[in-house]
């Protein structure tokens, strides 16, 4: 069984761009050429690799080879940078080195708290361009399987085939609200009879973290009014403005600006275990990224062995 590089790269491009036409434009060839390459690759492996839908989607076998195609592009980019860096025509300015493009997936709260310094350090030390996909855990898992991203910060510990999984620690949350909100909606404290009417701020309809937090606060099942604010910074501002109550990372409460106007509804935290899943690839850029992620996670997350709180498994978009 042979895997022609041209076919692998074309497959990865089709799935990344969504259609044969868009892939053709990206590769600077005709749609017919893209179709012929995909057919040749499918004939070579004896299996259907792409569902001809809009957007195009991979079969299980297609996911494996698409990931191989993306990995090949990363390795080629790194090799090109190494060769140019030692070539006679290179002017010696590290700013002029070609950049390796890395696509990763990350949940919004990690991105808003401990993960941006990871990208900053990686950018300072390596010639890379980062494409961050922010989405929930089911989508990040699919992105890993299809090869659209080389790694993902996720709350899902189940490893994706072809990927390594590293436990990072837990992101700790507390249920909070503004003083004005508490005075109006919860004057007698957190009671089910009041919480059923007190508006709740959720990231989106898949915000399982918020549901877990609600169940922790009140024993009986209730369905309070909900406001949806699908952006990390605006989510916190909405709570501070008194629009509703919600679960906020502990690191934000420790910040003199973001945490100044927020009051805890409970002293019991909710801990969300996080994992870094990434391709099994001997790539200097991926290895460097993984090392930096682990180092920052150790400094910014709660070790799971010390976590005594309710364990939540939220949507990765939080």
> What's the pLDDT at 21?
93
- Residues 31 and 125 reside in one and the same domain: no
Domain of residue 7, CATH code: 1.10.10.10
The continuous run of DSSP H or E covering 50 comes out as strand 50-51
- Residues 151 and 190 reside in one and the same domain: yes
**Model-level pTM?**
0.71
The residue-averaged pLDDT of 310-316 equals 49
- Residues 93 and 128 reside in one and the same domain: no
- Residues 132 and 52 reside in one and the same domain: no
Q: What is the b/e burial string over 106-124, where b = at least 16 CB atoms within 10 angstroms of the residue's CB?
A: bbbbbbbbbbeebbebbee
The residue-averaged pLDDT of 141-166 equals 82
> What's the pLDDT at 280?
82
Banded model confidence at residue 273, pLDDT cuts 50, 70, 90: very high
The residue-averaged pLDDT of 42-50 equals 84
* Structural domain boundaries, residue 36: 1-98
Ranking 173-177, 256-260, 272-276 by mean pLDDT, the lowest is: 256-260
- Residues 300 and 235 reside in one and the same domain: yes
Q: Which of 91-100, 107-116, 239-248 has the highest mean pLDDT?
A: 239-248
Domain of residue 195, CATH code: 3.40.190.290
- The answer to whether residue 138 scores a pLDDT higher than 60 is no
- The average confidence (pLDDT) of the chain is 84
Rounded to the nearest 10 degrees, the angle between the axes of helix 284-300 and helix 60-86 is 100
The residue-averaged pLDDT of 248-267 equals 84
> What's the pLDDT at 91?
58
CA distance 171 to 318: 10
Banded model confidence at residue 59, pLDDT cuts 50, 70, 90: confident
> What's the pLDDT at 317?
55
- Residues 111 and 199 reside in one and the same domain: yes
Tens of pLDDT, residues 203-222: 988 788 999 999 999 999 99
Q: 182: how many CB neighbours lie within 10 A of its CB?
A: 18
């Amino acid at each position: 069984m042979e895997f022609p590089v041209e076919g692998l790269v074309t497959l990865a491009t089709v799935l990344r761009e969504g259609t044969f036409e868009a892939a053709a434009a990206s590769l600077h060839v005709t749609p017919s050429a893209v179709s012929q390459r995909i057919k040749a690759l499918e004939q070579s492996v004896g299996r259907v690799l792409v569902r001809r839908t809009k957007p195009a989607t991979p079969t299980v076998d297609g996911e494996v080879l698409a990931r191989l195609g993306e990995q090949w592009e990363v390795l080629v980019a790194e090799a090109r940078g190494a060769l140019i860096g030692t070539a006679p025509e290179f002017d010696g300015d590290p700013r002029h080195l070609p950049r390796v493009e890395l696509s990763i997936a990350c949940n919004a709260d990690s991105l808003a708290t401990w993960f941006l310094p990871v990208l900053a350090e990686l950018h300072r030390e390596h010639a890379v361009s980062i494409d961050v996909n922010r989405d929930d855990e089911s989508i990040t898992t699919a992105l890993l399987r299809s090869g659209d991203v080389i790694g993902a910060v996720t709350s899902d510990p189940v490893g994706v085939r072809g990927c390594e999984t590293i436990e990072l620690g837990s992101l700790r949350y507390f249920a909070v609200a503004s003083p004005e909100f508490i005075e109006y909606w919860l004057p007698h404290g957190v009671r089910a009879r009041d919480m059923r009417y007190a508006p709740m701020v959720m990231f989106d309809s898949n915000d399982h973290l918020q549901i877990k937090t609600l169940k922790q606060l009140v024993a009986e099942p209730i369905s309070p009014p909900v406001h949806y604010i699908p952006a990390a910074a605006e989510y916190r501002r909405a709570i501070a403005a008194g629009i509703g109550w919600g679960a906020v990372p502990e690191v934000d409460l420790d910040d003199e600006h973001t945490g100044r106007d927020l009051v805890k509804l409970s002293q019991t935290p909710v801990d969300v275990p996080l994992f870094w899943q990434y391709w099994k690839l001997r790539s200097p850029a991926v290895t460097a990224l993984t090392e930096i992620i682990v180092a920052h996670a150790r400094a910014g997350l709660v070790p799971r062995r010390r976590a005594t709180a309710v364990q939540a498994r939220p949507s990765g978009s939080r």
